[in-house]
Amino acid sequence: MYPERRRAERERRECWRVPVVCAVRNTVGGRLHLGQSEDIGPGGITLRRPRDVPMQPQTPIVLTFDLPGTKTTIDVTGLVVSDRKTGAFRRTGVRFVDSSSEQLALLAEYCRRKS
């Protein structure tokens, strides 16, 4: 087993996150899925999604969501890092990649204000 896998999920993160609940539209392979955020940071997001739609690690994903309390819509791309069943849902960790510096700066500022 890789040492990276033995560490807790929160310890493996490269960026900090803040708890945020908002609707997230996610597109995988041209199909639209709906989910809900659990937490977010400038480097990634944790999604709560329907239990019957598993995703493999390294799956490309496009996310669109409105930051709560703002009129800001975020459009980012990412890669699935983890996906597992949690109760009646799936919990999916996504790392942002190839996203605009403007979008990431908006996320960073939002998270700074929330922390």
Residue 82 identity (one-letter amino acid) = S
User: Domain-by-domain residue ranges, the chain?
Assistant: 3-114
CATH architecture of 3-114: Beta Barrel (2.40)
Distance CA 95, CA 55 (A): 14
Task: List, for residues 34-91, the tens digit of each pLDDT value.
Answer: 999 999 999 999 999 999 889 999 999 999 999 999 999 999 999 999 999 999 999 9
Integer-rounded Cα Rg, in Å, for the chain is: 14
Q: Give the confidence band of 9 by pLDDT, cuts at 50, 70, 90.
A: low
